[in-house]
Amino acid sequence: MPVNKIAWQKIEGLTAPGRYQFNFGWLTVTKEDFFVGEKFPNAAFTLVKVSGPAGSEEDFRLGAFDTGEEI
């Protein structure tokens, strides 16, 4: 089954925006992602596949998110 979401708790150990390798490929995390993750620690982000170099591992960025809170 392909990975399509990731919880902030799985990536909250990161300390700065950047590109990080995970078991599913590379993940680029932005300062905006950190803002959301700090404000909503139960957030679950959609993984968005982006094109990477030919023959490389898959590259992802964080997309839409669910805050885990009721509106």
CA–CA gap between residue 59 and residue 53 (Å, rounded):
9
Q: Assess whether pLDDT exceeds 70 at residue 1.
A: no
* pLDDT at 14 (0 to 100): 86
Rg (CA), the chain: 12
Q: Assess whether pLDDT exceeds 80 at residue 54.
A: no
* pLDDT at 3 (0 to 100): 59
Mean pLDDT of the chain: 86
Q: Which two tokens stand for residue 4?
A: 């399509």
Question: pTM score, two decimals?
Answer: 0.80
Provide the residue ranges of all domains of the chain, joining segments of one domain with +: 5-66
* pLDDT at 61 (0 to 100): 95
* pLDDT at 13 (0 to 100): 80
